[in-house]
Structure 1
Amino acid sequence: ALLSLLPGGQSMERSAVTEVGNIALGGFLDGWANYLGKAIDMSPPRYFEADGAAVLPDGALAGDGVFLFESRLDATTTDLDFSIYMLPDSGPFRDLIVGKTAPAAAAGGEAAGGTASTAVPYESLSTFSSLAKKGSANAADNIAMMTGLETSVDVSRLRFVPLADVPAEVGTEPHAGTVFELQGELSGYLAILFQESSAAAVADAMLPMEPDEPLGDMAQNALCELGNVMTSGFIDGWANVLGTTITHSPPEFVHDIGASTISPLVAKLSERQDYGFVIDTAIRTEGIEARCDVYALPDERELARALDHLSDS
């Protein structure tokens, strides 16, 4: 989209893209430097083209993952999407982040009368990512047992986003799915949302006969049962890793504009925290592939405490 806005031939286009990248990344790093109180330099930009994971440097996928910061450019005539892939050296980056956040966390605890920090420990991010993958594997096993179909649930990425941005993440397209309240040492909410067409396809595959309506009562019951076994799989995996007990409420079926399905949960949690987790997943069964998003919205203090306990044990 950006190239179509620029005059000149291919050489001019590449030069312009390189300069835009230079300006965008320079501003990004300046913001980090100002916040951290450190100097951050960068090499001159280099233009290249690649698809998928090939955009990442060699060896980038060998570890637990990469930090991805996504931004959006608004132009006069079109919208421009771009991503900034940040791949810092783990040790120095950790020292910078921990050194900056530790005083703030301590001050926050003192201001709150000594209550626990809401910050999820940096060292525990990879643990939480493994929780998502473990929960997904359990969910796939549960779906296979229920339907008799070979099933996989793949986690493509784990996102840590401001709660206020979660409804916009879901978007304005119609969605259907289930929401649950989590109870136990890790409380909060979990929502499993399909785009409307995917929800109808999944329900149709689960039912012994074609439903009268694509998302009528029969389909709703099927999706509630699917959400039930998926959620049980997710939280059982989390509970096993964390060494604790987590239960969930009966499923509540939702079918509405995407943002409207998640806004009530965000409103409840935003009274006591600012961030939530989004697990991007894809369900694959024999003869059908459907995409869903799992919105895990745990209580931040309880999650931080559980992960701290796990790292100490």
Structure 2
Amino acid sequence: MIENLTPIQLDAIREVGNIGAAHAATVLSQLLNKKVSMTVPQVNILPLAEACDFVGGPEQPMVGVYLRIFGGAPSKMLYLFPEEKALFVAGLLINDPEKCSNLLGELEISALKEIGNILTGAYVYAFSNFTGINMLSSVPALAFDMVGAILNTILADLGEMGDYAVIIETQLTACDESVDGHFFLVPDPGSLATILEALGVKEGCQNRSGSECPK
């Protein structure tokens, strides 16, 4: 079960997360022509019912970038970051931070969709490349609302198969400003086991040395 992942398994997912973060930072640096770094401080497993409190409470205004992953490990992915940080990130791409200081208009939304596409795409690529599992992603959609509304709308159809999510914390730094965000990876039934086995830490494993896993 997803809620019973071992520290070794969480560490493996964090390792993939760091690879995705590095790839995203490289692409964003080239796009923005600015130095961008991105790290993964922590990976957690949480019930979706507790996710709102984990990211600041159900009434916290957030921007969410959402996509569906198809292929060998079908899943859902959601990237959440605070409204004020979204405005800062949009300003970097538009190259006019003052214009994006207090309004999320069409231009800002377009910029965030492009950046969200880069961020989520980098993570899908990292998981696919690192595991060898074929993964294809849908075109990301963007939502701007209170975090409770975003989670209820996007994840409402998950039912019992999505009671828990892997939450990958991220920290993006550009122009001496830090942007804390959260990736929600919600695997379909069986997908997490497929990913873990490809990472060499399938359910029951206690090490990554290549020795036989306990049955």
| TM category, shorter | 0.7 to 0.9
Asked whether the equivalents of residues 206 and 222 of structure 1 are also in contact (C-alpha less than 8 Å), the reply is yes
Alignment correspondent of 1:232? 121
Alignment correspondent of 2:197? 308
After superposition, the C-alpha distances for 1:16-70 in whole angstroms (9 at most, x for unaligned) are: xxxxxxxxxxxxxxxxxxxxxxxxxxxxxxxxxxxxxxxxxxxxxxxxxxxxxxx
Confirm whether residue 134 of structure 1 aligns to residue 23 of structure 2. Answer: no
After superposition, the C-alpha distances for 1:191-243 in whole angstroms (9 at most, x for unaligned) are: 22221111111111210343596210000000000000111111111111111
Most deviating of 300-309 and 234-243: 300-309
Tell me the secondary structure at the aligned position of residue 271 of structure 1.
helix
Tell me the secondary structure at the aligned position of residue 88 of structure 2.
helix
Which of 241, 244, 261 is the aligned partner of 2:133?
Answer: 244
Asked whether the equivalents of residues 198 and 290 of structure 1 are also in contact (C-alpha less than 8 Å), the reply is yes
Q: CA 1:207/1:186 → structure 2, altered by over 3 Å: closer, same or farther?
A: same
Tell me, in whole angstroms, the C-alpha distance in 1 between the residues paired with 2:146 and 2:2: 31
Which of 173, 176, 180 is the aligned partner of 1:291?
Answer: 180
Asked whether the equivalents of residues 37 and 174 of structure 2 are also in contact (C-alpha less than 8 Å), the reply is yes
Alignment of 1:10-25 (within 5 A): none
One-letter amino acid matched to 1:206: L
Alignment correspondent of 1:198? 85
Q: Normalising by the residue count of structure 2, what TM-score does the alignment of the two structures yield?
A: 0.82
Asked whether the equivalents of residues 177 and 194 of structure 1 are also in contact (C-alpha less than 8 Å), the reply is yes
Q: Relative CO higher for 1 or 2, CA cutoff 8 Å, sep ≥ 6?
A: 2
Alignment correspondent of 2:38? 153
Tell me the secondary structure at the aligned position of residue 244 of structure 1.
coil
Tell me, in whole angstroms, the C-alpha distance in 1 between the residues paired with 2:104 and 2:50: 28
Q: CA deviation at 1:300?
A: 4.8
Tell me, in whole angstroms, the C-alpha distance in 1 between the residues paired with 2:63 and 2:198: 36
Tell me, in whole angstroms, the C-alpha distance in 2 between the residues paired with 1:119 and 1:304: 12
What RMSD, in angstroms, separates the aligned Cα atoms of the two structures? 2.3
Gaps of 5+ in 2: 203-209, 211-215
One-letter amino acid matched to 2:15: S
Alignment of 1:35-114 (within 5 A): none
One-letter amino acid matched to 1:140: A
Which of 176, 193, 198 is the aligned partner of 2:63?
Answer: 176
Alignment of 1:253-292 (within 5 A): 253-292=142-181
Q: CA 1:270/1:164 → structure 2, altered by over 3 Å: closer, same or farther?
A: farther
Tell me the secondary structure at the aligned position of residue 70 of structure 2.
strand
Tell me, in whole angstroms, the C-alpha distance in 2 between the residues paired with 1:157 and 1:225: 25
Asked whether the equivalents of residues 87 and 100 of structure 2 are also in contact (C-alpha less than 8 Å), the reply is no
Q: CA deviation at 1:141?
A: 1.3
Q: CA deviation at 1:126?
A: 2.1
Tell me, in whole angstroms, the C-alpha distance in 1 between the residues paired with 2:186 and 2:74: 9
Most deviating of 285-294 and 219-228: 285-294
Tell me the secondary structure at the aligned position of residue 161 of structure 2.
coil
After superposition, the C-alpha distances for 1:74-125 in whole angstroms (9 at most, x for unaligned) are: xxxxxxxxxxxxxxxxxxxxxxxxxxxxxxxxxxxxxxxxxxx767763533
Q: Normalising by the residue count of structure 1, what TM-score does the alignment of the two structures yield?
A: 0.58
Of all paired residues, the percent bearing the same amino acid is 24
